[in-house]
Copies of this chain bind each other. A is one copy, B any other.
Amino acid sequence: MIKLLTDLIDRDSFEPAYVQLVNIIRKHIASGAFLPGSKLPSESALRKKYGVSPMTVRRAINILIEKGIVDTIQGKGTFVKAMDLGNFAFQLNELQSIFSDREKTSIKLLKVNLAFADDQIASKLGISKGDRIINIRRLISNNDEPIILNVENLLYDPLRPLVESEMEVTNLGGLLTGNGKTDLKKGEFTIEAAMLHEEESKVLDAPPLAPAVRLEHVFFDFEDQPTSWGWFICRGDRMKFSTKVGIWE
Does A100 count as interface, using CB distance less than 8 angstroms? no
- Name the B residues within 8 Å of A192 (CB-CB): 213, 236, 239-241
Does A7 count as interface, using CB distance less than 8 angstroms? no
Smallest CB gap from A219: residue in B: B83
Are B82's CB and A186's CB within 8 A?
A: no
Are B242's CB and A189's CB within 8 A?
A: yes
Are B189's CB and A88's CB within 8 A?
A: yes
Smallest CB gap from A210: residue in B: B195
* Interchain CA distance A35-B181 in the complex, whole Å: 12
Are B240's CB and A187's CB within 8 A?
A: no
Most B C-beta atoms less than 10 A away, residue of A83, A176, A240, A246: A83
Smallest CB gap from A188: residue in B: B244
Smallest CB gap from A246: residue in B: B186
* Interchain CA distance A195-B235 in the complex, whole Å: 12
Q: Which of A213-249 contact B (CB under 8 A)?
A: 213, 219-220, 222-223, 236, 239-248
Does A6 count as interface, using CB distance less than 8 angstroms? no
User: What does the 1/0 interface line of A166-199 toward B look like (CB < 8 Å)?
Assistant: 0000000100111000111111111111110000
* Interchain CA distance A236-B213 in the complex, whole Å: 10
Smallest CB gap from A91: residue in B: B89
Interface size class of A (residues with CB under 8 A): 35 or more
- Name the B residues within 8 Å of A188 (CB-CB): 242-245
Smallest CB–CB gap between A238 and chain B, Å?
Answer: 10
Are A92's CB and B92's CB within 8 A?
A: no
- Name the B residues within 8 Å of A77 (CB-CB): none
Are A186's CB and B248's CB within 8 A?
A: yes
Smallest CB gap from A173: residue in B: B85
Known A-B contacts A92-B89, A240-B192; the reply to A182 vs B82 at CB < 8 A is yes
Does A114 count as interface, using CB distance less than 8 angstroms? no
Are B84's CB and A191's CB within 8 A?
A: no
Does A118 count as interface, using CB distance less than 8 angstroms? no
* Interchain CA distance A222-B34 in the complex, whole Å: 11
Additional pairs, 7, CB under 8 Å, beyond known A83-B184, A191-B241 = A82-B177, A90-B92, A188-B242, A189-B244, A189-B245, A190-B241, A209-B209
Measuring CB to CB, which residues of chain A are less than 8 angstroms from any residue of chain B?
Answer: 30, 32, 35-37, 55, 66, 82-86, 88-93, 173, 176-178, 182-195, 209, 211-213, 219-220, 222-223, 236, 239-248
